Amino acid sequence: MNYDINEEQRMIRDTARKFLSKECPGEFVRQMAQDEKGFTPQLWQGMAELGWMSLLVPEQYEGFGGSFLDLAVLLAEMGYCCLPGPFFSTVVLGGLTVLEAGSEAQKAEILPDLASGKRLMTLAWLEEEGSYSPEGITLTATSQEEDHILTGTKLFVPDAHVADTIICVARTAEAGKDGTAGLTFFLADAGSPGLRVEVLRTTAGDKQCEVTFDHTPVPKKNILGEPGGAWPVLKRILQMAAVAKCAEMSGGARRVMELVVPYTKERVQFGRPVGSFQAVQHHCANMLTYQDTIEFITYEAAWRISAGLPFDKEASMCKAWVSDSYRKLVGLGHQVIGGIGFMEEHDLQLYFKRGKAAELAYGDTEFHREMLAQAMAL
């Protein structure tokens, strides 16, 4: 076993840390939470120049050819500064789905643009039921000559308002016994007729959208992967997305520690630093335990994905543990830092709000415990 990142990953980390500390301070995160678009073209361009969108894209599609573990290292830095914008939706949700399900021609068409930052993407699968089961997907796709006609509403779609391409999971046939029949990925252009996007108001200012398809035609050549075969691929992508989200939280955990621990050494009450009180020390010790375990379990799951090993069980353990532990870590951070952390002008509250969104994304703790129970053959 080896718990250290390699030289290349250290470079990715150091570059990201340097760039983001300059380009993405807390004030920027607050502005972007209010901003209609939620990011700036300059920032996106800067990220593209650093090759971040190309990280996971294989070299044959003009990418960097990095590993999922490399991506996890980068995502941790993004989580560290609460980076707003469509990186996660484009690279993790869009990029991975194309990589996992796309034909050679589709990859050759989409991935070079994605890698250069020209094409923004997202994945739309949740609907009104808000559940991660296949039964929750009811949006219909009816065959009509050269097209499928998509009708229905997707919810909680990240960054759909700026995406050029929305990958929509729709049903081409009746759900069948296990609910997975007929589920198919469609590559829908944002400008398609009848496609409407509305940004939902969220607490953290992350951009989640309602996407309505009203008799929207999508050409049959834009089917991604096997018609009717989307569910196993979607499940795999959601597990990877869960681990990717944990990587963001692991960076967030480090930042919360940095916001809180030094403060306890300076803040004086009763004539001594509050960090010298054992009640406070024990909270901080618990926070460090959460931070370390969040990091290891995330990197272990990311490593398994990179190494091509089965990762379903580890990904569920990871998301269950990290969702839970990150919430506790941030909660303790608030308790330790006191009133000032409760203020809008303090950065700590950003991590509380973002943490809540991350906790729910791609399955919360209870969901993943149940997934794990299934994997344990309970």
Looking at beta carbons only, is 214 or 292 nearer to another protein? 292
CB of 360 vs another protein, minimal distance in Å: 17
State how far the Cα of 151 lies from the Cα of 7, in Å rounded to an integer: 49
The Cα–Cα gap between 28 and 8 comes to 29
Where are the alpha helices (H) located in 3-60, listed in sequence order?
7-23, 26-34, 41-49
Max Cα–Cα distance, the chain, nearest Å = 79
Q: At 275, which amino acid appears?
A: G
Q: How far is the CB of 265 from another protein (least distance, A)?
A: 6
In this chain, which of 232, 281, 346, 357 binds another protein, going by CB under 8 A?
281
Residue in 28, 303, 311, 362 binding another protein, rule: CB under 8 A: 303
Is 335 a binding residue for another protein by CB under 8 A? The answer is: no
Distance CA 255, CA 180 (A): 40
Among positions 37-76, residues that touch another protein (CB under 8 A) are 69
Choose the binding region for another protein from 120-128, 138-146, 240-248, 367-375 (rule: CB under 8 A): 367-375
The minimum distance between CB 244 and another protein, in angstroms, equals 16
- Number of residues this chain uses to bind another protein (CB under 8 A): 42
Residue whose CB is less far from another protein, 166 or 247? 247
**Which residues make beta-bridge pairs with 210?**
198
- Residue 103 contacts another protein per CB under 8 A: no
**Coil, strand or helix: which one is 232?**
helix
To another protein, the closest distance from the beta carbon of 177 in angstroms equals 19
Choose, by CB under 8 A, the member of 321, 351, 352, 362 that binds another protein. Answer: 321
Judged by CB under 8 A, the residue of 15, 300, 346, 360 near another protein is: 300
Which residue from 226, 282, 340, 343 is in contact with another protein, where contact means CB under 8 A? 282
**In 10 A of CB 45, how many CB atoms?**
11
The residue from 23, 25, 296, 357 that contacts another protein (CB under 8 A) is 296
Interaction pattern, residues 151-170, with another protein; x per rule: CB under 8 A: --------------------
Q: Is 2 in the site for another protein (CB under 8 A)?
A: yes
* Closest by CA position to 89, among listed 187, 166, 3, 150: 166
Q: Per rule CB under 8 A, is residue 376 in the interface with another protein?
A: yes
Q: Locate tokens 């009203």: which residue?
A: 214
For another protein, the binding residue among 288, 340, 342, 343 (CB under 8 A) is 288
Q: Could you tell me the two tokens for 87? A: 């990186």
Q: Is 242 exposed, middle or buried (0-12, 13-18, 19+ CB in 10 A)?
A: buried
Q: State the alpha helices, DSSP H only, in 50-153.
A: 68-80, 87, 96-101, 104-115
Q: Which helix (H) or strand (E) holds 223?
A: strand 223-224
Least gap, CB of 317 to another protein (angstroms)? 5
- DSSP 8-state assignment for residue 212: E
Helix (H, G, I), strand (E, B) or coil at 130: coil
Apex CA 256: angle with CA 254 and CA 257, to 5°? Answer: 65
At position 44, the amino acid (one-letter code) is: W
Total length of the chain: 378
Q: Is residue 378 close enough to count as binding another protein by CB under 8 A?
A: yes
Question: Using the rule CB under 8 A, is 133 a contact of another protein?
Answer: no
Q: List residues binding another protein (CB under 8 A).
A: 1-6, 69, 261, 264-265, 272-273, 275-276, 278, 280-282, 284-286, 288-289, 292-293, 296-297, 299-300, 303-304, 314, 317, 320-321, 366, 369-370, 372-373, 376, 378
